[in-house]
Amino acid sequence: MAGLAQSGSNPDVELLYDINGLAKDAPRWFDRVVGFVGEYGLLLAMTLLLVWCWWSVRRRSGISGEEAAGSVAALVWAPLAAGVAVLVNVPIRGFVERPRPFRQHQGLEVLVTGKTDFSFVSDHATIAMALGVGLFVAHRTLGLVGIGLALVEGFCRVYMGVHYPTDVIGGFALGTAVVLLLSPLAMALLTPVTKAVERSPRAGRLVRRRRAVEERDALIPGARKETTGAEERDLAA
């Protein structure tokens, strides 16, 4: 399968040349920016978006600990799913053994060096889409932003000359499949953990903001007393 997408008449190759050809006409500084963004910048942006989403779900959690615990569990699952997807990609790359496009085709503008591994599927596209879909499970609006960033990541990888378009599409499919197919099991395991953290006097703020806890305690008879007792026991220990 190493000869996949080698033919110049292949639409995959034609689209590769069309997108990568934009790099030849662009200013050098722009290519350097795209190279950095496609290699590091967008994944960093996805990480910051995850943190923003965590902060947002904490603030909007209100009195419902169930909602907060589920949303935070989904956010924990997003990077875990990205890691699982990358591990799943290891045997896929070994089976397909598709060389990087610049090793098979002449005249490509390669914006980053040192890429000696196989091309299918793209790890960057896999991670970005897994994070984007995971974000969407936790927060619809920010999730759409994350998925948009993942699409930009995929375009950048082809623009940079290091992946075929189908490498990127395969990465998108792999990242999405891992998040959605394993999500029921992951949420069943992670939600009880986040609920336990939410009940902790010290670590509860990781799941819900302090004001939400106070609002809950004000409406639920005896909750404040139980919380205070737990805090006193924790201090005594």
Q: How do residues 93-145 score in pLDDT, each as one tens digit?
A: 999 999 999 998 888 999 988 888 899 999 999 999 999 999 998 888 999 99
Task: Confirm whether 50 is domain-assigned.
Answer: yes
CATH number at residue 154: 1.20.144
What residue numbers bound the domain in which 132 lies?
A: 11-208
Tell me if 39 sits within 8 A of 110, measured CB to CB. no
In this prediction, residue 139 carries a pLDDT of: 87
Q: How do residues 158-205 score in pLDDT, each as one tens digit?
A: 999 999 999 999 999 999 999 999 999 999 999 888 888 777 777 667
In this prediction, residue 201 carries a pLDDT of: 73
Distance (Å, whole) CA 143 – CA 198: 23
The DSSP code for 120 is S
Give φ, ψ of 74 to 5 degrees: -65, -35
**pLDDT at residue 223 greater than cutoff 80:** no
Mean pLDDT in residue range 25-37: 93
Other Cβ atoms less than 10 A from the Cβ of 9: the count is 6
On the 0-12 / 13-18 / 19+ scale of CB atoms within 10 A, 146 is buried
pLDDT above 90 covers what percent of the chain? Answer: 57
Exposure of 200 in the CB half-sphere (CA atoms within 13 A) = 13
Distance (Å, whole) CA 50 – CA 208: 16
**pLDDT at residue 90 greater than cutoff 90:** yes
Quick one: which H or E segment has residue 157? helix 140-159
Name, in order, each residue with C-beta under 8 angstroms of 231's C-beta and a sequence gap of 6 or more: 201
Task: Confirm whether 233 is domain-assigned.
Answer: no
Task: Confirm whether 228 is domain-assigned.
Answer: no
For 100: left if phi > 0, alpha if psi spans -120 to 50, otherwise beta; the answer is beta
- With bands split at pLDDT 50, 70 and 90, how would you rate the model's confidence at 231? very low
Helical pair 123-138 and 140-159, crossing angle rounded to 10 deg: 170
Task: Confirm whether 140 is domain-assigned.
Answer: yes
Q: What is the mean pLDDT of the chain?
A: 83
Task: Confirm whether 5 is domain-assigned.
Answer: no
**pLDDT at residue 209 greater than cutoff 80:** no
Task: Confirm whether 1 is domain-assigned.
Answer: no
Q: How do residues 37-74 score in pLDDT, each as one tens digit?
A: 999 999 999 999 999 988 887 766 554 455 678 888 88
**CA nearest to 157, candidates 2, 61, 40, 75:** 40
Helical pair 140-159 and 165-199, crossing angle rounded to 10 deg: 150
**pLDDT at residue 76 greater than cutoff 70:** yes
Q: How do residues 11-27 score in pLDDT, each as one tens digit?
A: 899 999 999 999 988 99
In this prediction, residue 60 carries a pLDDT of: 61
As for how many domains the chain has, the answer is 1
Task: Confirm whether 235 is domain-assigned.
Answer: no
Task: Confirm whether 43 is domain-assigned.
Answer: yes
The encoded tokens of residue 26 equal: 């662009």
On the 0-12 / 13-18 / 19+ scale of CB atoms within 10 A, 34 is buried
**pLDDT at residue 217 greater than cutoff 80:** no
In this prediction, residue 237 carries a pLDDT of: 46
pLDDT above 70 covers what percent of the chain? Answer: 79
The DSSP code for 40 is I
